[in-house]
Structure 1
């Protein structure tokens, strides 16, 4: 005899739709604690099996972290989904979206803010100056929106 609740749970799709709140990267993936035989991530992450590598076919061998592709995490301040792109998030003991880094810059050490400035210049090279000025405000001041892509 099976319970109706148990049967319904078994039919649930394990994949969820991830969308970065900064760049709007959109992908179907898994969400949760990622633990493998060679390590783990300290917080829940959005991840999938690495689509660029075939799965290992060694019977009895547990997957390694390198078998997975981590897409993103939740921002520790605003709880929005954010990908791991340099223009979208910073990891400093936890994951922070660049929007929160800008808005809450007084809460971050100077070294972290200097890293963010480097990322802002990376963003200019990657997306172009106009796109970055419209979406990311440099920490040195200036007018612009604090929202990102």
Structure 2
């Protein structure tokens, strides 16, 4: 993996080496984010949507187009600062 993530062994899969990724931390602000399009953008690493919006010009055109297609944020992500 390219970053630290929250994982759990997949309780459904018989293969014991399979796992689920639930979330990570934003690589800009360290905010905890869960895996989901209403909270997180994964582009080689995880970013919270507020940081993506603030730094949108630093992302490729495809990411800008993807962000334009997303619905306005319905749920707020966990905004706890978890810097270590």
| TM-score normalised by structure 2 residue count | 0.75
Q: Mean Cα displacement is larger for which, 106-115 or 70-79?
A: 106-115
Structure of greater relative contact order (alpha carbons < 8 Å, 6+ residues apart): 2
Aligned to 1:103: 54
Distance 1:42 1:90 in 2: 15
Gaps of 5+ in 1: 1-40, 57-62, 122-131, 137-147
- Give deviations 1:92-136, integer Å, cap 9, x for gaps: 111111111111112112211111122x23xxxxxxxxxx3xx47
Q: How many residues in Structure 1 have an aligned counterpart in Structure 2?
A: 76
After TM superposition, the structure 1 = structure 2 runs for residues 1-149 of structure 1, keeping only pairs within 5 Å, are 41-51=1-11, 53=12, 56=15, 63-64=16-17, 67-118=18-69, 120-121=70-71, 132=72, 135=73, 149=76
Larger radius of gyration: 1
Gaps of 5+ in 2: 77-84
Which runs of at least 4 in structure 1 moved beyond 6 Å after TM superposition? none
The Cα of 1:79 is off from its aligned counterpart by: 0.7
Which protein is richer in helix relative to its size? 1
